[in-house]
């Protein structure tokens, strides 16, 4: 009963995924939660209040101006009652109204009045989800500390395929259990994390880089923040939104990343080096664009070593708990174990980037985590799920 004595206010907005809400209520109650349901007006077109009343065991609220509700559990009372507000499904319309700060019906009013954490499980057509207005609303809500769980991707009721499916009820229950854990795994821990690629300039318009998208590092930042850590993310150039509650420091080159890390590492408890840092940089950077000439069929660029960030952290006399990454194409275990010893790391997460569908630029990944005297495989999964498992594993060793 992982949710024993926890009070969850489930908001249901209008969308075909509302049919999953009854199953979600039942699964939350199976874990010991007390669940009360609030519906929007449009949600009642997809599932009846009577159905949700039957599975929750409580009357369903949907009217902002219900005199009988105000006499008992009105909008302020419900807002104070909840340990967590979960809105599943969260429609594009509801999220737009929340982003605008509207209090035009009971559910949106509760969201303004509650001191409890609010989390949204988006569910809509894939084109609606990808629309610039929806994406802007999501960023606004995330910047205010509202948690976003999902969406998943796949076939949709309308026949489209893409992102916009509400997460499975069992996945949402698991997220609630993590959110409402008695003490988050990394509560009070200061984490410094690197992510993404670096760019090493050749001239004002060209650079040397790699295929890193930053997705794994950003997923770790989000998972660590969910686990209670105070996260500072030193990021190379990526096209990703900053996870809610994370402090982001943008850099371009390996030297800039090295400087950003070394100036902050003394204040952190835990360091994770997930960035794909360029090992070398051009010795000289042309001040003007290098021009191609008719009699010059070759160009020679002399490279020099970049500072080794993870080794520099590992060499500190008072180093934090340090976790490295090893992205390899052959002999993954051998190279990872060598790096673990040589750079004085506490743990290292190794992955085979030569495998199709995982690693650089992919949405999925698989890792094998090594430490002195042990290892643990983390099988192929989406990068956020994988990040949550990795953070839990790191936390268990950090706390020893």
User: Are 111 and 118 within 8 A, CB to CB?
Assistant: yes
Q: What is the dihedral of CA 168, 174, 179, 184, to 10 degrees?
A: -150
Q: Encoding tokens for residue 188?
A: 């009070």
Q: Encoding tokens for residue 385?
A: 């799920």
Whole-angstrom distance, CA of residue 307 vs CA of residue 173 = 44
Which helix (H) or strand (E) segment is 24 a member of?
helix 21-30
For residue 188, how many other CB atoms are within 10 A of its CB? 10
Whole-angstrom distance, CA of residue 100 vs CA of residue 358 = 38
For residue 17, how many other CB atoms are within 10 A of its CB? 27
Whole-angstrom distance, CA of residue 161 vs CA of residue 213 = 23
Report the Cα–Cα distance between both ends of the chain, in Å, rounded. 26
Determine how β-strand 200-201 pairs with β-strand 34-39.
unpaired
50 exposed, middle or buried (CB, 10 Å; 0-12, 13-18, 19+)?
exposed
Which helix (H) or strand (E) segment is 79 a member of?
helix 75-81
Q: Which residues are catalytic?
A: 158
Which helix (H) or strand (E) segment is 236 a member of?
none
Q: Encoding tokens for residue 391?
A: 């953070």
């Amino acid at each position: 009963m992982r949710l024993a004595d926890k009070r969850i206010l489930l908001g249901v907005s209008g969308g075909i995924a509302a049919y999953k809400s009854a199953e979600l209520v039942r699964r939350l109650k199976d874990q010991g939660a007390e669940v009360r349901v609030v519906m929007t007006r449009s949600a009642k077109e997809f599932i009846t209040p009577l159905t949700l009343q039957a599975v929750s065991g409580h009357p369903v609220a949907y009217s902002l101006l219900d005199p009988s509700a105000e006499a008992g559990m009105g909008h302020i009372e419900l807002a104070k009652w909840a340990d967590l507000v979960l809105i599943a499904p969260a429609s594009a319309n509801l999220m737009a109204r929340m982003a605008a700060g509207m209090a035009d019906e009971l559910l949106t009013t509760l969201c303004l009045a509650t001191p409890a954490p609010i989390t949204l499980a988006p569910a809509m057509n894939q084109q609606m989800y990808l629309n610039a207005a929806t994406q802007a609303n999501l960023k606004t809500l995330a910047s205010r500390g509202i948690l976003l769980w999902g969406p998943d991707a796949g076939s949709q009721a309308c026949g489209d395929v893409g992102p916009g499916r509400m997460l499975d009820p069992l996945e949402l229950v698991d997220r609630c259990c993590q959110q409402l854990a008695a003490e988050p795994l990394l509560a009070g821990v200061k984490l410094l994390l690197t992510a993404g690629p670096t760019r090493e300039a050749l001239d004002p318009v060209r650079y040397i880089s790699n295929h890193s998208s930053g997705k794994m590092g950003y997923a770790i930042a989000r998972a660590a923040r969910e686990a209670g850590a105070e996260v500072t993310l030193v990021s190379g150039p990526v096209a990703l939104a900053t996870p809610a509650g994370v402090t982001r420091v943008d850099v371009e080159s390996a030297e800039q990343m090295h400087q950003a890390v070394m100036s902050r590492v003394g204040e952190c408890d835990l360091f994770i080096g997930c960035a794909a840092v360029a090992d070398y940089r051009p010795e000289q950077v042309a001040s003007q664009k290098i021009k191609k000439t008719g009699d010059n069929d070759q160009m020679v660029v002399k490279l020099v070593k970049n500072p080794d960030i993870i080794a520099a952290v590992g060499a500190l006399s008072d180093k934090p708990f340090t976790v490295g990454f090893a992205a390899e194409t052959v002999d993954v275990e051998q190279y990872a174990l060598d790096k673990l010893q040589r750079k004085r790391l506490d743990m290292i997460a190794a992955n085979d980037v030569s495998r199709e569908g995982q690693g650089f630029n992919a949405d999925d990944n698989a890792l094998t985590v090594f430490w002195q005297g042990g290892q643990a495989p983390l099988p192929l999964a989406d990068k956020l799920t994988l990040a949550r498992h990795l953070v839990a594993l790191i936390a268990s060793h950090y706390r020893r």
